[in-house]
Amino acid sequence: MLHLMDDPSPEPTDTTLATRPSPFKWIVRCGVKGRCPRCGEGRLFASWLKIAPKCDRCGLDYRFAAADDGPAFFSLCIIALPLTFVVVWIQVAFDPPAWVHLVTSLPLMVAGCLLPLRPIKGCLVASQYVNRAQEAGTGGLWAKLEGRDGDAGGSSFD
């Protein structure tokens, strides 16, 4: 269960709120580019899907990031489900031999599901930061990340 903290705007370091795009645009930009959701400059990923321990630019600790199975779920729902209908339509309309599906449909499905995982994961992590989303019991971790007292601003779920 997620709980949203009161202040939805991220704390910029070198970007003022006046020049920062809307939260949605910021989330998408940071997520797709794999950039830190606080400063927009540092790297979010240490490798293809592994989140870095912290931002190499502003020092934001990424321990709050818990995308879990979200990227795989969205990739399957947004890409695999429509592609499945296309593959079934091709089979029904043209009745190609099985090797045609192995050469075309299978690589299309694999690439279509794997390639968007990183941008989707980046967007989910950026969204968690911008919206101050936290799971039940993580108020203390947020307080530590923000450098405030452990009880201040904690979740009612704690």
What digits encode the pLDDT tens for the residues 130-148?
A: 998 876 666 777 677 777 7
- pLDDT tier for residue 71 given thresholds of 50, 70 and 90: very high
Segment 85-91 mean pLDDT? 92
The pLDDT of residue 147: 75
> Is 118 inside a domain boundary?
yes
List the single range of 82-96, 99-113, 122-136 with lowest mean pLDDT: 122-136
Beta bridge partners of 4: 133
> Is 33 inside a domain boundary?
yes
pLDDT tens per residue, range 22-65: 999 999 999 999 999 999 999 999 999 999 999 999 999 998 88
CB burial string 55-71: b at 16+ within 10 A, e below: bebbebebebbebeebb
> Is 157 inside a domain boundary?
no
Domain count, the chain: 1
Q: What's the number of CA atoms in the CB half-sphere (13 Å) around residue 138?
A: 18
> Is 132 inside a domain boundary?
yes
- Structural domain including 140 reads 12-146
The alpha-carbon radius of gyration of the chain (Å, integer) is 20
The pair of three-digit structure tokens given for residue 13, joined into one six-digit string: 């370091």
The pLDDT of residue 127: 94
